[in-house]
Structure formats: C-alpha cells, structure tokens
Structure 1
C-alpha cells in the first residue's frame, strides 16, 4: 500500500474540524471493532500439538499480516505537527496568548481542541471539566494550556524575569500516586518552577514559594484536606486544577468541604469518569467547578434527577419519557458549556485496532451452587429477607420492628455483636455488608470463605464455624473447613466455575502468543490465581497493594518489553492509575465491582494509545449469583451517566429506580440483593424482555411448558445465529435456532465443547447493550395542559425520598 493511502487511512476524523466544545455533540465514530470468534479459539484446543508444530515451521499468514499492518500504521503515523505556535487569543489581543511551538508540535489534534476549550473557559473567568477518556492526555493538555497562559516556551531554559509576577500561582491537587508523574510531565513539556507540598516536602514550602518564585504547587488530596487552611487562606491561587476530579462526588466528604474553600473561580477538573453511581454526583462536581451553574441542589434533584431516573424506567408512561427527553436535552446543553467529553473512538480510534468487551456468565460448579443456596438459608439472611413479614408473636408489628430485630442464633450476627448482645441501633441491617461480601466470595472461589491465617484468632474461629455450616455434607469435597495449604488443591479448577472457563481460554490465548492482564479485586483471589498460573507453567508478573511504589514502573516496563512474560496479575484497587500495559491484548476481569468505573479503568490499562493489536476483554461473572445483580447495576449506572452527561439514547431495560422505594423493581432493595437466581437466566431475561417489547411480532410467541430456560433462551423469533452467539446459548435454547454454518457437525462440536468444558451459559458484548448513539431531540412536544400534572408527579416522587428506611442508606453508602 502506498504512503498516500496510509495517510488517507490515518487522516483525522471528520468531526474533529468542528469545535468540540460547542453545544453540538460530535458525531461518534461509526466503526465497530470486529467480533472475535470464541468458538474458533476453542477448537484450537483440540489439536494443540499439531498447531504448535505448524507454528514452529511458519507463522500464521493472517496473524502475520495483521501484525505487519498494525506496525505500518504506527510507523506511518507521525504525531509531530508543524513547528509553529498554536494561537489561542483572538486577533488584536495583546499580549498574544499561544501554546509555544515546542509544545504544539507534539500535540495531537484532539489535544489542541482541549487546550482551546480550557482557554475559552479561562477568558470567561469560570471553571470547567476536561472529561476525556483515560489515555487521551488530559495532563498534557492542562500543561499546554498553562504554558500559554503564563507565556512559557519549552525552548527557554528559564522564564523571563518578572513573568511570574503577572499572574497568581497554580495549585494542582491529585492522588498521591501521580504526584511524581505530574512533576515529570512538567519537566518534559515546559519550564515552570514546580514544587511539591506533600510528606516531608511540606517543611518551609511557603518560604521557598516566595524566595524562589515557585509558580506551580502540587499536592495530594489527603494533604490538601488536612492543611486546607494553610493552602487556601495563606495563598492566592490564579488557577486550581484537580486531577481525578470525580473524587469530589460526595458533598458530605471532608475533601469536598475543603475544596469549597478555594477562592478562585478558575477551577478545572480532569476526569474520565464524570459520573459513577448517581446523577447527584454530577451536580456536586459541577457545583464545585462552576458554583451555581446548575442551580440549587433541590432544583437539580426535582428538575433533572427525578425525571431522568423515572423516564428511564422500562414501563414508564410515554409522557414521562417525553419529559425525561426534554430535561436531558436541556441538561446536556448546559453541561456542554463547561464540559468537554471525548472518547478514544471519537479521537484516536482510527489509529487503533479496536476493543471488544465481552461479558461472560460462567456456571458455578455444583458444590458452589449448593454452598450458595445454604448461605441464603442462614438465619442472618432470612431475617433480612423477611424483615417486612408480620411478626410470628402475634404483634401487629413487622419482624424487623419486633422479635426478629436481632439474630442471636445467626452465624454472622453473634460475632458482630459479641460485645453488645442486645444489638446495635442498625440491627438487623448491619448484616447487609457482611452477607453480601460472603456471597461474592462464594461466587468467586470457595477457599475465600475459609479462615484466613493472617486474621485475628477470634475471627479465624468465627470463620471456621461459618465455613463448616455452609459446607455441610460437602466438607470433604472442598478439603475441610480450614484453609487449603496444598499447592495442588488451591490451583485445582474443579470446584470453581470461573477458573474452569479461564483455564481453557488462557490455553488458547497463550498458544497463539497473546499477552494477558488478569484483574481481581481480592488479594486472596490473586494468591489462588498465582498458584494456578504456576501450575500451568505460565510466566507472569504480579502487582498489588503490597508492591512498593518504586517497583511498579519497572514491573510494567519489564512486562511490556519481555516476550517471555505472558500474564500480568493485578489487583483492581492497585491498578487504577498510571499503568500503561499496551503489550497485552487480552484483559480478564475475574470479579466485577459495584462501581462500573473500576472495571472500565482496568480495561484501559491495555486499550490506550500505543496499543498495536485488537484488544479483547472478558468480564467473568458467576451465573445465577449476586454478581449478575452487580453487573446489572453497572449497566444501570452507565446508562444514567450516558443520558445525563452525553445525552445518549439508552434502552430501557430496568423497572427499578435508584433511591426510590416505590420502584425497586429487579435491581434495588433487600429482596433483590439476597434473591436466589440459580434457576434463572437473570441478565438474559432482562435483555430478552426488552427485545420482545421493542419488536412487533406478527403472531404471539408460544411459550414452552418445560424448564424456564427453554422460553427465556429465545426472543420470540427464528433467528440465524453466528457461531459466536450459538456457542453461548443455554443448551435448552439451541435447538430453537438454525445454525449459520454449512457444516452442522462442526458447529455441534463447538457447542458441546463450550457447554461441557467451559460451562458458559450466556454471553453478550457490552457494546451491544450500552447504547452509543447520541440523541437529545424530543420526538413530541409535551402538551402544556399535561406538563404541570407530570411535574407534580415528579415532585411527589421527590418528597417520598424522606421516607426511605435505614437499609437503603446503609447499602447505598457501601455500594458507592
């Protein structure tokens, strides 16, 4: 292919010429990454030896072509622009405000647009948020913007005398883990005089600021919170930049209160996750950036939050949907004055090979299912489930208000209240968090509920009693109720459904030279996975909270540069910031998090600029467990974020409404948290229900009279499914669908392999569930005579919030 042809491929997206910070939303990149064929990957397992022999003689032609094509793309792409300044100010402005040529020539086009956006806010003497996806260079854009404002030149060794006196100083507040990164980026890109106010570097910092003409002060969130009076009262800040600004989502936190004390109006937030759990988080963040820009808190709640949440309810009346559309359009138009939000697909998507996000529902092992059901039957959980049932003593009160407020015969309750036999003020809702934690542990691996030798003796004794009761007659099957010290026992995948699937998938990936990132939230789960990797003979690196900060970058560099390193085992909590693992093209998230941002950040460790291959993500969920509810809530939160922030059109899957006791639906409330989902395809049922409602059938679907899975495995129409989709259908539904393959024998072999070996009962691509379409226009105007009635309904809903019981508050606080 000629050089001119490659340049045509790599030319900037057409929407980039349009002002990205205008109220008009850019058209998203229509390209979708190709779907991988998991069934083909699985077939490779049948003749590993043959393929290894073939690989030793010649590389696969198709893979070689893809690698060479990716290499050529990156070689042809030259991020260096013309060596000329980027003028920001209008003609006639004196002095001229411009990004120096030494910085501008190294910026990508979307980064130049980001600098222009920040400068336009600065001219208006107001703040804003740069909300680009992680990996798009928000730090660099902020430094380029500051360099223009302070007339810095990257070629000048020291700033001209007197420049620092023209404007006030800049305060940067960020996580402690990226302080050194900020300092390093300033040294690479500009000539600011930078100081750090953190740890032992605090001593005498104010004297240094005055004597040495320090222009940039970098501090951490915790340091600023503790020393807020010194930093906000003793110094006048021209500009304040908060990195990872979503940390300001909670208006009741000490950090938020401390940041409100900053006097300057030029407050800028950098974050790729503007909203994580609730729409009110959006208000809190913007109310700090632009005080009063979204009105009062109560106005925002009644005018925006309640209509948007209730308009997204699956059975919401059409009028409510119309009002929600109208409010969404208005909210987005206001936000876009202070927010610039871009994704990788919209900016550098044409320079990357794409990403595919697969959500895989793995069947739990038989012993896992039995233990999970026993857990739901313990007195502690039964007390929570039956909290609203009339008390058996004959009292008109509910159980939770009468005899069953405490659980002396419980498995967990007595330990929590060993110093207070009468219980606490929150009983029995104090059991919610411990019970949810235990259910998640069972869903991941049975060893997690056994006593931990690192715990206190009292807790070990309690956990031993708990494990012996849950294992019951399966005690010998799981190797006793004490922690398994056997290497072979811990690395065995027989009793863990997700590890069984992971073993087969990794065999295929490793065979074909893929590099894998393996994430888990639990350090104990990382220990088990580590023994599994050792048993399989894979070369791996590991990073968790115990890894010294100074060693982390060397581990990353070694993994990226070493062909022998096959797997990187990472704690989701430790891998949130600063890890660029672009050599990996397979990402596995072993356990989901209630906060969707954590899982998305884990994916972006690999999918960022510099990635040369197509990235495939696998989120492993235990089918029929609490993890399905965790993922459904992730979908709910992502959809609300897309609606409120970007004005996207989202499918209305769920009946539940967050923070609304009257519409808990299938997502919220105690009954849903501790529901037995073992006989259901929970997520599949919700999606299939939406498909049925959204499709007009010429004749009604005839439901089967057999097992519940038979009717839920289909959507009511005769579809031709690809191999990829067919191999993930539940067994009872496969006969309903013709197979889109000329070789039925081959397709049946694939289906059987997935069903028997992997135990995958259902899967989908997250991109197909979460809408990526923009659309803020209301199809039909709300009639004037009906608008007051609809608005009154929303006000009533808002007033009902005061009647929520304590469990909603406790659970919500934890889930955030």
Structure 2
C-alpha cells in the first residue's frame, strides 16, 4: 500500500471520531503531557528556548481518549530520559537540566541619563543575552566612554564574542530588525573596527556578526586583500577581520587606517614583547584597544604587564617598576621557604595589583556565572604505567652522556679541581649522542653549554613517554637530522631495536595500531571500551601530529567512527567538521591537534575529553577542555589527563600547577598554599630520574595528593581501575 492510499484510508476514521465526540458532548480529560527533552540544535534555537516559555507557541497535545497513555511515551521511557548513565564518571540527570530565562524584549541602555544620543543595545540582541553578558557589555562601554581600552577576561565559553558584538551594535546604533540606512555615515563619523584573531575563528566571527547584527563585514585575509583594502579606503567597511599572521606581515599598512576600535581575540598572544606581532600591534594609533582572552596569564607575571601595557599604556607603570614592585615580590613570597616578611610584602603587592587590574579588566569564571546552568566538570589525572619496552628505552636515555652531564652538573669535577663538573671538564659532551649534532658547526661548544641540551633532552623524554615511534626519524626532515635521529634511536633501543620495529619510521598498520608497547594507549583502549558502551562521545587531543596518525590507526583497528582536525585541515572545512561531529550520532571520537584545534571550536556534543600528552603551558590543556565544557553543554563532562607514571610528564604537570598558582595570585588575588620553591619546583622530582620506576611513581602520587594547591578534601581517593593506571580524581 502506498503512503498516499494509507493517508486517504485514515481520513474517514478521524472524521467519525470527531463527530462522535461532538454528538455526545463529551469533553475528554486529556492527561497532562510533559514535553520531551529537546534535541540538540543550533545555537540560535537554543537561545530561542531561553526566552519565557509563555511567549513561545505551546506544543499541541496529542488526541488521546480518557485514561489512555500517549503513544510512544511510556513511564519507562521517561525514566530513561531523566537519567542516563555516564560511564567512567558520575551519572548525569538530564531531565532536570534547564536554561535560565533571558531578558525582556527591550533595549539595554548604556549611556548615562540625559546623555544624547542615547547609546543602547538593540532589543533584538538584549533579549538573547544572559545577565553576565549584559554586565560585560556595560563594562566594555564604560572603557570606551573613558577613551581607553581594557581586557574582557571571561572564562572560555562565556560568550566574549557575543558581548563584543552587542557592545559594537550599541556604539554604532544598530538594530537587528532592519538595516540601518546610515551605515556609511557611521563609518565616516566613527571610523571602522579592526578585529585581529586566530585564523581558525575568522569565519566564526563572520557568522556571529551575521546572526546578531547588521554590520558591513569584510575579511582581510588571503588573495583578495588589495580589493578589501580599497573597499576600506572607500569607507564601505565597518568591521574588518584579519588573522594574527596577516596582521604581523601587513600591519604597517593597516596601522595607517584611523580605527575607531581595535579588538584582539585570544589576546594572550600578545604576551611576548619581543614578538613581531606585539611590535606590529603597538603601531595601532587608537587608544580604544580591547583584548579578549580566557587565560590572561599563562607562564609568568611579566606577561600581565605586556598585555595591559598594550590595552592601557602606562596603567602599570614602566616595565622595570612592574618587575621590581610586583613580579619579584610575588614570586619570592610564593616560595615554600620564604620568610614571613616576604610573605607579608607579597600579600600587600598582590592586593594592590588586583585593585589596579580591576579598573581595566573584567574577569568571570563559569562557576560564578553559568555554573547553575551546566552539569559540571570532573578533572582526572591518570598515571599510566609505561610498557616494559618503554621503561627500558627510558632508562637507556637517562644513561646517555648528554643526560648524565646535566644530572651531575653540580658534582665536583673528577680531575681534582675545586670547581663543579659544569664549570670545568664536563661543559661540553663530545662523546654524546645529541650534543655533537647541535654543535656540528662549532666543535668547541657554545656560550650556554651544556644547558643548550636541556630542551632537546626534554623533548626526547616526552616522546618516549608517549610512544616510541615518535623518536624515530621523520622523512620530512633534512637528511642530516634524519641521520642524527636514527643514531639516537639505535642508541636508546639497544638490544630491543628489533622489538621496537627498527630505527626508522614504521608504516605497518598492525604495528602502529597495536597497544602492546604503549602504556597510554593500553589505558585508552580500556577507557574507550567503557565509554562506547555508554554512548559517550570523546575529544582526543594530542600535541603531536605523528601521534594523531598513530591514534587514527588505533581507532580504525577498533572500528570507532571518528573525525580529525589538525594544522593541515583547510580553514573553510573546519566548521563543517565540527557541525558534522555534533550532529552525527555515529561519530564517537574527534581527533584534534592541541595547536590547531584549541581555539574557537564548539564541541558540546562530547562529554569525555582526553589530553593524551600534557603541555608545559597549562592554558593549552585548559583551552582543549573548554571545547566541550562550555555554554550549551547538557551533560556532565569528565576530563582525563594521561601522564606516563614515573616520567618527565609528572614534572610537566607540576609546572602546570605552579603556573596556575601564579595566575590565581596575580590575576584573581586568591590565597594559594606555598608548595613550590620558585619555578624550579621540587628538585627531588628531577633527581628521581635516577631512582627506580616504581619508587618514582609511588613518590609522586604521595607528593601529588599531599601538596596540590587545593584543599585535600577536594580530591577523592586513588582508584585502582585494573587498567594499568593510577587515577587521582578531583571533586567538583
């Protein structure tokens, strides 16, 4: 029977039922129907649901006879909807989740009473803003009104882009309901707006402008730059969007334009005063410079000065004054052995710095703003036992002359001199494996010897901790480097060279996808099995593209459907990959490069985040987490940071904790416990490289539980998951 014939057959039945009800004057007592959980949708549809439900069209109730349960909506199904097991983490109660209501359909007035013209956010935009976003818009306008810039330092995912667009719409008198007939007049009076952002979010800015306001937007990027510049000179552009790299190269041209406002997205890119990008941005002549960033400080306190000296020149004094008055006292006062006098001085300077920063910066966290709208996040540090082959290779690496030179640098020299080894005979390592290549053009060594070995050795130790394939030569490198890497691989593989697949990169699918010789992949295999059984979706981050290649083969072997995004992914395809992953139930895993996909991606369909290899910069890992834990996430997010137990990665994580401490002290004025001796951290951890693997792992777990800069009650017990891992779990 065709569908058309089937519909025609049903029509008489419906007519007979309605006439029967009318003739007997029976008013059926319909059971109240609880609306089903809304499906995943676009951001615009989610924002529409934020409005008062009384103003929205009510769902039509199905026609049911008295005491009849609606078809397809049983009590058992409601229980399944209300609670969904969350796999390796706590259960998430989805049925209780609701967004708060947004404001009424009326403008948000920013200007003072009696001020003409009235500056206001259009009602069409204001009604879709959350309360913290309205506060952010008012803050931006107060800076603009006082003719200086500042920082919107909200956590990632709180809508800094939307707040900025709402602020610009108010300043330029926009209304979403209709195109302003005086668009070009506004450009002529006020001048255009320049937005500098990462390449990956250029099109995201363009899309958001099209959704929220009626601006004339152009992108200064790619082959059509000259045409866009001509359009800019003709006053036909209100908003010009460009990338960091493009502005670094062509900043001298763009700096000649009289910009009304300049906005730098991910403004922490301006942390280094010696970079070409920072120098180019200093040439911008407008005082109305605004920075958007969720990580105001990443590595050191002096980054604060660089950023604020750009948005509000002179607000923190001179560079030397800032270093002497803030930087040095705060660092010395945070040392675990600091005298009480140093601690008191640091506390006073911290309070003074926070008071100054609050004049030019608005900083909010998710917990303060939309914490009640989200299901929460759980942070897990996973210590993965390295494979037996990894342990042997790691031990041989530590015995290389290059590493031994660094470990024993402070010991007395063997020649009988009163000097240390690094000051006497062991300054150079001609019999090493790494040192001769670094100084192939300078056999006598360099001025920084042997400390020039530190970075190359750290990189090799991290690679061994993640996967042995990473230390093998890369065919894209020059022949000399490939030859050097092959010699290094042979030295650390030793008698296990055949077991490791030789000293050249393997292309064997079965070999690369096997988890036997990689401790982290063995742990990931067990975790993935648990998540897939419970319907979880996973974001899998790695800093290494080669590691992503290996993980891709692992996922193919296990039969998991996945997407992938790295530096080679074209910019115009990235958003389609994100949309496909969010909308497709079959896509379980998203492989993402930390460097390419750490910014601007909204992946709220995933509720599991894996950081495969930790980064020295904690902001990189935090940005990766917030691809999932952001506004619109309806499930409980669980993060897993994989660390190779007993390896250098433990030191990397400790460094992250220390840097986050400094950031909390300088930016937020929080009181942090003093567990570290300056940036060198615990020297005992570095010396544990000489200890056995088990001793090192046990020591560090005890150290971590007892000395993280949070209350001990915030950490749950260590759980043995029988997966070859030790898990330290943080409470919400």
TM-score, normalized by length of structure 1? 0.75
Aligned equivalent of 2:11: none
Would you say the 8 A contact 2:486–2:504 is kept in 1?
yes
Would you say the 8 A contact 1:170–1:216 is kept in 2?
yes
Q: 1:157 to 1:668 in 2, by over 3 A?
A: farther
Match of 1:532 among 541, 544, 554: 554
Match of 2:703 among 680, 686, 709: 686
Aligned equivalent of 2:58: none
Per-residue CA shift, 1:490-522, capped at 9, x if unaligned? Answer: 222222221111111111111111111111111
Aligned equivalent of 1:65: 83
Aligned equivalent of 2:322: 300
Displacement after TM superposition at 1:114 (Å)? 0.5
Aligned equivalent of 1:218: 241
Aligned equivalent of 2:350: 328
Would you say the 8 A contact 2:718–2:729 is kept in 1?
no
Q: 1:63 to 1:455 in 2, by over 3 A?
A: farther
Aligned equivalent of 1:87: 109
Determine the C-alpha separation between the residues in 1 that align with 2:81 and 2:723: 25
Would you say the 8 A contact 1:629–1:667 is kept in 2?
no
Aligned equivalent of 1:178: 201
Would you say the 8 A contact 1:159–1:191 is kept in 2?
no
Aligned equivalent of 2:439: 417
Match of 1:209 among 204, 228, 232: 232
Would you say the 8 A contact 1:237–1:264 is kept in 2?
yes
Structure 2 gaps of 5+ residues are: 1-31, 38-75, 86-90
Would you say the 8 A contact 2:141–2:167 is kept in 1?
yes
Aligned equivalent of 2:18: none
Displacement after TM superposition at 1:365 (Å)? 1.8
Would you say the 8 A contact 1:152–1:159 is kept in 2?
no
Say whether 1:727 aligns with 2:719: yes
Determine the C-alpha separation between the residues in 1 that align with 2:395 and 2:275: 38
SS of match in other structure, 1:574: helix
Determine the C-alpha separation between the residues in 2 that align with 1:665 and 1:70: 41
Displacement after TM superposition at 1:558 (Å)? 1.6
Would you say the 8 A contact 2:81–2:94 is kept in 1?
no
Aligned equivalent of 1:709: none
Q: 1:673 to 1:105 in 2, by over 3 A?
A: farther
Say whether 1:194 aligns with 2:217: yes
Would you say the 8 A contact 2:199–2:571 is kept in 1?
no
Aligned equivalent of 2:3: none
SS of match in other structure, 2:190: coil
Determine the C-alpha separation between the residues in 1 that align with 2:216 and 2:355: 38
Q: 1:607 to 1:261 in 2, by over 3 A?
A: same
Match of 1:560 among 576, 582, 590: 582
Would you say the 8 A contact 1:544–1:575 is kept in 2?
yes
Determine the C-alpha separation between the residues in 1 that align with 2:692 and 2:652: 13
Q: Return the index of the structure with the highest Cα Rg.
A: 2
Match of 2:514 among 488, 492, 503: 492
Trace 1:65-464 onto structure 2 (pairs within 5 A): 65-66=83-84, 77=99, 81-160=103-182, 162-232=185-255, 234-464=256-486
Q: 1:486 to 1:160 in 2, by over 3 A?
A: closer
Displacement after TM superposition at 1:676 (Å)? 5.1
Would you say the 8 A contact 2:83–2:94 is kept in 1?
no
SS of match in other structure, 1:519: strand
Q: 1:305 to 1:2 in 2, by over 3 A?
A: farther
Displacement after TM superposition at 1:237 (Å)? 1.9
Q: Matched residue pairs, number?
A: 654
Q: 1:491 to 1:207 in 2, by over 3 A?
A: closer
Trace 1:519-668 onto structure 2 (pairs within 5 A): 519-654=541-676, 656-658=677-679, 664-666=680-682
SS of match in other structure, 2:383: strand
Determine the C-alpha separation between the residues in 1 that align with 2:573 and 2:264: 26
Which has the larger displacement, 200-209 or 613-622? Answer: 200-209
SS of match in other structure, 2:129: coil
Asked which structure has the greater RCO (Cα within 8 Å, sep 6+), the reply is 1
Determine the C-alpha separation between the residues in 1 that align with 2:643 and 2:338: 30
TM-score, normalized by length of structure 2? 0.83
Determine the C-alpha separation between the residues in 2 that align with 1:145 and 1:3: 39
Q: 1:523 to 1:164 in 2, by over 3 A?
A: closer
Per-residue CA shift, 1:6-40, capped at 9, x if unaligned? Answer: 9xxxxxxxxxxxxxxxxxxxxxxxxxxxxxxxxxx
Determine the C-alpha separation between the residues in 2 that align with 1:555 and 1:204: 30
Q: 1:694 to 1:455 in 2, by over 3 A?
A: closer
Q: CA RMSD in A?
A: 3.0
Q: 1:675 to 1:192 in 2, by over 3 A?
A: farther
Displacement after TM superposition at 1:214 (Å)? 2.2
Determine the C-alpha separation between the residues in 2 that align with 1:570 and 1:537: 18
Which has the larger displacement, 174-183 or 119-128? Answer: 174-183
Aligned equivalent of 1:465: 487
SS of match in other structure, 2:678: coil
Q: 1:677 to 1:300 in 2, by over 3 A?
A: farther
Q: 1:640 to 1:154 in 2, by over 3 A?
A: same
Would you say the 8 A contact 1:70–1:612 is kept in 2?
no
Displacement after TM superposition at 1:290 (Å)? 1.1
Displacement after TM superposition at 1:138 (Å)? 0.8
SS of match in other structure, 2:599: coil
Per-residue CA shift, 1:475-497, capped at 9, x if unaligned? Answer: 34333333333322222222222
Per-residue CA shift, 1:74-131, capped at 9, x if unaligned? Answer: 6x53765322100011111111110111211121111111000111111222211001
Determine the C-alpha separation between the residues in 1 that align with 2:660 and 2:396: 33
Per-residue CA shift, 1:708-750, capped at 9, x if unaligned? Answer: xxxxxxx9xxx9x99x72524xxxxxxxxxxxxxxxxxxxxxx
Displacement after TM superposition at 1:311 (Å)? 1.8
Displacement after TM superposition at 1:689 (Å)? 4.7
Structure 1 gaps of 5+ residues are: 7-57, 659-663, 696-714, 729-753, 769-816
Would you say the 8 A contact 2:654–2:681 is kept in 1?
no
